[in-house]
Amino acid sequence: MRLTVERGFDQVTVEAIAEAANISRRTFSNYFACKEEALLHGERLYIDAFARHLRERPPEEAAWTALRGAVRALYSSWGRPMDREWAARTRLARDHPSLLARQLANQSRLAQDLEEALEERVGPPGVRHGVLVAVFLAGLRVAVSAWNEQEGCDLLTVVDEVLDEVGAPFDG
Amino acid sequence: MRLTVERGFDQVTVEAIAEAANISRRTFSNYFACKEEALLHGERLYIDAFARHLRERPPEEAAWTALRGAVRALYSSWGRPMDREWAARTRLARDHPSLLARQLANQSRLAQDLEEALEERVGPPGVRHGVLVAVFLAGLRVAVSAWNEQEGCDLLTVVDEVLDEVGAPFDG
DNA sequence: GGCATTTTTGCACTCCGTGTAGAATAACAC
DNA sequence: GTGTTATTCTACACGGAGTGCAAAAATGCC
């Protein structure tokens, strides 16, 4: 991340990253398939944590409520300074197609995880969990991108506003 | 596509594709940045066509109705044999992360295009077009993936069913 | 200490993307 | 037709990326 911000994404070679981390180029490849994956590793951790939070919600909550609870739990378990890192990553992804692609692939994995987590709960089984999750993540994306364009507003507030608007019909 | 189906995605080199197309490796790179882009080029054409169809909808239609009209118009302008190609691509993307990533990036571009197209129309300006488009595309994705798992059901029928369920609150 | 397991490293190899400069081709005026 | 452009294709070269393999280093356990 530091190197990418300093020199720009394209000007950072895997070799440079490896050297900065005091490991060999080969070892880098043992952990990450490419630069993109390394750069998005932090995000991947959040994604996994999100799915975990969802599974820990009380089973009697409705699906939509549980999703919103999980996002709030995740946010409060962050250190606040993560906000800036989040923003930096989002901006990088916006400007570099290969990063954007991999970021979206991560979100697609998250969608699958969340869907499975919802399947495990009690509740109306006829609900189209796939659609529910997709709508929820769509709301999150819109919220994050709106937050990223404005200055100094609270992420959680924006998320709440957007999800109120999107999710009303799915609530309860 | 032919080579990929025959040998598998990873076993096809750019050189092989170029040779099969009677062009040089360098010329391939003049048109496509990588294998993935070449393989998804057909999809890219549909995507562009979709946005074009949306712009041609009568301006007095509500946004959601226009989106559904565009997808129907696109489908009826296909040759039916395209269905199999669609399915093959979707299956490939499901199994190859790098393809999935680029496919999702394409869809992200489409989302932006559709959003812009909706902005140009008359209609309630306060509508959150971003959310609307995201929900719509989410519905499409769910429909296509459901269609892809079942045998021999009509794509358009599945799409209609899912969009009915997702879009009710946005309709009209 | 010795020994087994895991991790890291160096090397070699193929493939990929790109800059460059020249060859082939197309387009067009005459 | 010829000559003159402009466009497209190609060959070559170069640095970087990802991977299999086997040796070296580190780790953990007795």
Higher pLDDT: A82 or B33? It is: B33
What b-and-e string marks burial along B11-38, b requiring 16 or more CB atoms within 10 Å of the CB?
ebeeeebbeeeeeeeeebeeebeebbeb
Distance CA A9, CA B7 (A): 34
Q: Which two tokens stand for residue B50?
A: 């979709």
Return the pLDDT at B170.
Answer: 59
Could you tell me if A160 and A95 lie in one domain?
yes
Which band of pLDDT confidence, cut at 50, 70 and 90, is reported for residue A69?
very high
Distance CA A72, CA A68 (A): 6
Could you tell me if A115 and A142 lie in one domain?
yes
Share of chain B above pLDDT 70, in %: 94
pLDDT for B28 beyond 60:
yes
Could you tell me if B86 and B32 lie in one domain?
no
pLDDT tens-digit series, residues B90-103: 889 989 999 999 99
Task: For residue A131, list chain B residues with Cβ-Cβ distance below 8 A.
Answer: 138-139, 142, 162, 165-166
Could you tell me if B26 and B59 lie in one domain?
no
Of A101, A104, A131, the CB nearest to B142: A131
Could you tell me if B22 and B68 lie in one domain?
no
Number of domains observed in the structure of chain B = 2
CATH at A30: 1.10.10
Could you tell me if B8 and B51 lie in one domain?
no
Of A105, A141, A166, the CB nearest to B101: A105
Return the pLDDT at A168.
Answer: 62
**Shortest Cα distance, chain B CAs vs residue A4, angstroms:** 21
Taking residues A130-147, report their average pLDDT: 86
Q: What is the DSSP letter of B21?
A: T
Taking residues B144-163, report their average pLDDT: 85
pLDDT for B68 beyond 60:
yes
Could you tell me if A25 and A95 lie in one domain?
no
Could you tell me if A122 and A150 lie in one domain?
yes
**Shortest Cα distance, chain B CAs vs residue A74, angstroms:** 23
Distance CA A126, CA A130 (A): 11
Distance CA A42, CA B58 (A): 46
Q: Do B131 and A162 touch (CB under 8 A)?
A: yes
Per-window interface: A 76-105 vs B, CB < 8 A? 97, 100-102, 104-105
Protein-covered nucleotides on strand D (Cβ within 7 A): 9-13, 16-21
A168/B contact by beta carbon, under 8 A: yes
Q: Determine the longest span between alpha carbons in chain B, in angstroms.
A: 53
Range of the domain at B89: 40-170
CATH at B73: 1.10.357.10
Q: What is the DSSP letter of B169?
A: G
Q: Is the CA virtual torsion A39, A42, A45, A51 positive or negative?
A: negative
Q: Do B145 and A134 touch (CB under 8 A)?
A: no
Higher pLDDT: A60 or B127? It is: A60
Contact between A37 and A102 under an 8 Å Cβ cutoff? The reply is: yes
